[in-house]
Structure 1
Amino acid sequence: MAPAAVLGHSLVYAPRIRDLLERTEKVFRIDATTVGVSDHRLTAEIVAARPVLSTERSVYKPAAGADIPHDSATRTIRALGQDVMAGIRTPPPPARGLSGAWPYAPTSYLRRWLFSSDPLPVSLLSKRGITRSDALSRIVDRAVTVWPGPGGGDGNGAGSTALAELIRGASDPLDRKQAVAMYRRATATLCDGVAALAGNALWLLRQHGGRETAPADLTAVLWETLRLLPPAWMLWRTGGEAYTGLHPEIRPTDNVALFPLLMHRDPDHWSDPLEFRPERWAGVADPEKTPAFMPFGFDGARCWAKHLVVPLAERLLTVAFDSGLVIRGPRHDAPVPLRSLLSVRFEAATRFEAAGR
């Protein structure tokens, strides 16, 4: 990580992210085979040049040696939506589960909140301790592909999430293996993304007013967080002839990296672009129609769970504020490492726990 003294502000970005933020050009070469783009209009042209490939989608990339069918993807989206809406309506787990290292603590908290009702070993698919180990992941996946086989489960699916029922209802071994992969990817993508967004919002609120109570318009806070610290900060497109005529810097062999993180800070589109100003979203009926604002991707390839992310993050932050969660420790800076999701790292504790230390 770059030292705080070099950056002169409270977020300590990984060097490669810091280098991006220091660029002034909107089309630039990252390396011999990659071109970076933050220009709003060129980004729209790149996205429109061809449909997104299955390999460019983190959730719907091929599984078990085959592409994910469209109807299977649609069932997954609907099932996840049912599970999230059902989870939001239920009492959350004890708030002490939010204490610890963020974004890991809220990721585990969300998985426990939304998916712990699933029978073993299905619920293990969403456990972070399992997903961090390739060997354990393979063992759990094999176990789930035969669930609920002879003598397994209760036979009626009682208490299971809608996502788990897609595994139970699989029609053949390939369908079941893909349902297992989709369960793992969908739960991980949702929980990791919401945890990153909520953590980024908490840090920004702390740095701009030191709030320990929920602001009046928490939704506006989340939209401004998605602008300034979007978890989905970079989107990848595999190179090809489709892009070569769009800009002279892009060659047929070049991959293209699209950067909402930079686009959202473009002074040509945003007033005071580096300032955290949730009030800029007051009265905005549909934030995603705002020019140069693409927090969930682009037309034809938007995040499949975008309609769930903000409501769930708002619910999670409400629990955090109600429990008196505070960022603890003497540091006034926090690292932002180079990861697929942009997320601020810090330690947090409920007010009662912090007072007892």
Structure 2
Amino acid sequence: MATATPRSHSIVFAPRIQDLLARDEKVFRIDPGKVGVSDSRLMAEIVAARPVLSTERSVYKPAAGAEIPHDSATRTIRALGQDAMAGIRKPPPLVRGMAGSWPYAGTSYLRRWLFSADPLPVSLLSKRGVTRSDTLSRLVDRAVTRWPGSADQDGRQDGPQDRPQDGRPDGGTALAGLIRGAGDTLERKQAVAMYRRATATLCDGVAALTGNALWLMGPERDRPEHRADLTAVLWETLRLLPPAWMLYRNGGAAYTALHPEIRPEDDVALFPLLMHRHPDYWSDPLEFRPERWDGVADPEKAPAFMPFGFDGARCWAKHLVVPLAERLLTVALDSRLVVHSPRQEAQVPLRSLLSVRFEARVAGA
């Protein structure tokens, strides 16, 4: 299960991921306090055993010292979907923005495409140079908290009655409108955190998926059968190189009855990456074969396939990821984006998102 050679391109995983891929057992101890699981049935039972905790969610974990209210989370999902669909209807930015180190170039390109309408300092919230510095992040957060438009000339905060119907400020995104339309300081701080998390999670995930697909397609990416069904290419990429390659659950009594290896104090790591590559579930599991999805009406219902999580714990933006990745991949192929280096063997480092690292150029640029 450890080595995959898609077409003429190969992949070298970080040592810890390589160690996981080399395991034969589907339930195994990672360390004294953690159990790994790649068994399809057991993974479904673990996810169904209890609701996901807020601290286990990347976007909706507590912010500004308080839980994210359900209605705030719902508004964020709605606003992000509105912005994403409006963004991909716009002409894409100049294709030279796709050149550079992937997946970072893809992330930056997608952010410019979807969120460039937001004013400073809001647009800085998701800049990679800012997010990598705690000090800069705090400064930008404070600046956005004082963003003009949150209070009238008398100093009164805008209330719910003052908010635009769709949350969109003039010239900005609906997500930015949620910041300006916040009713009090806490809600505003949480809206700032949600903007940063939502835009980063979506753009990073879509760029990782698109970059993985570009690498897996290899030099044959312009073959007619590939261009005819990019959606199938993306589903196969989600199988072989799922960006969300691990789901983490804090330990507790809910899991102990499911398997003798799991103790009450054990945290549990679920590995779609391993499950998606196991020969018990897939024929030719290490082969990149988009055609395996031909005629599959609902890929998410395929056995032993968990690209966005199970029912009750699915990715909140799953309905946006594949359409955005297909649009980004289409632009990349139409623009003749080519892998410049490495030519044969790409690295996949140990990160929260599984993504191939490569340098890309726009042919003829």
Could you tell me the TM-score, scaled by structure 1's length? 0.93
User: Residue 122 of structure 1: CA displacement?
Assistant: 0.7
> Do the aligned residues in 2 keep the contact of 1:212 with 1:324 (CA within 8 Å)?
no
- The amino acid of 1:322's aligned partner reads D
SS of 2:29's partner is strand
User: Residue 9 of structure 1: CA displacement?
Assistant: 7.4
Query: In structure 1, how many angstroms separate the alpha carbons of the residues matched to 2:221 and 2:312?
Result: 39
Asked if 1:230 is matched to 2:232, the reply is no
Query: In structure 2, how many angstroms separate the alpha carbons of the residues matched to 1:259 and 1:126?
Result: 28
String of CA shifts for 1:307-346, please: whole Å, max 9, x gaps.
0000000000111011110001363100000000000000
Identical columns (%): 79
What is the aligned-residue RMSD (CA, Å)?
A: 2.0
> Do the aligned residues in 2 keep the contact of 1:38 with 1:263 (CA within 8 Å)?
yes
Query: In structure 2, how many angstroms separate the alpha carbons of the residues matched to 1:36 and 1:273?
Result: 20
- The amino acid of 1:23's aligned partner reads R
SS of 1:23's partner is coil
Equivalent residue for 2:256? Answer: 244
Could you tell me the TM-score, scaled by structure 2's length? 0.91
- The amino acid of 1:290's aligned partner reads A
SS of 2:259's partner is coil
User: Residue 212 of structure 1: CA displacement?
Assistant: 7.5
- Counterparts of 1:309-320 in structure 2 under 5 Å? 309-320=321-332
Unaligned runs of 5+ in 1: none
SS of 2:248's partner is strand
SS of 1:35's partner is strand
Query: In structure 2, how many angstroms separate the alpha carbons of the residues matched to 1:18 and 1:216?
Result: 33
SS of 1:292's partner is coil
> Do the aligned residues in 2 keep the contact of 1:103 with 1:344 (CA within 8 Å)?
yes
> Do the aligned residues in 1 keep the contact of 2:214 with 2:221 (CA within 8 Å)?
no
1:196 equivalent among 197, 205, 208: 208
1:287 equivalent among 290, 296, 299: 299
- Counterparts of 1:87-236 in structure 2 under 5 Å? 87-148=87-148, 149=150, 157-206=169-218, 209=220, 211=222, 215-236=227-248
User: Residue 35 of structure 1: CA displacement?
Assistant: 0.2
> Do the aligned residues in 1 keep the contact of 2:209 with 2:238 (CA within 8 Å)?
yes
Runs of 4 or more, structure 1, over 6 Å off, are none
- The amino acid of 2:239's aligned partner reads R
User: Residue 266 of structure 1: CA displacement?
Assistant: 1.9
Equivalent residue for 1:37? Answer: 37
> Do the aligned residues in 2 keep the contact of 1:218 with 1:314 (CA within 8 Å)?
yes
- Count of residue pairs the alignment pairs up: 346
Equivalent residue for 2:64? Answer: 64
Query: In structure 2, how many angstroms separate the alpha carbons of the residues matched to 1:46 and 1:250?
Result: 11
Query: In structure 2, how many angstroms separate the alpha carbons of the residues matched to 1:173 and 1:179?
Result: 10
> Do the aligned residues in 2 keep the contact of 1:212 with 1:321 (CA within 8 Å)?
no
String of CA shifts for 1:191-222, please: whole Å, max 9, x gaps.
00000000000000006x35477621000000
SS of 1:215's partner is helix
Query: In structure 1, how many angstroms separate the alpha carbons of the residues matched to 2:353 and 2:223?
Result: 25
Query: In structure 1, how many angstroms separate the alpha carbons of the residues matched to 2:342 and 2:75?
Result: 47
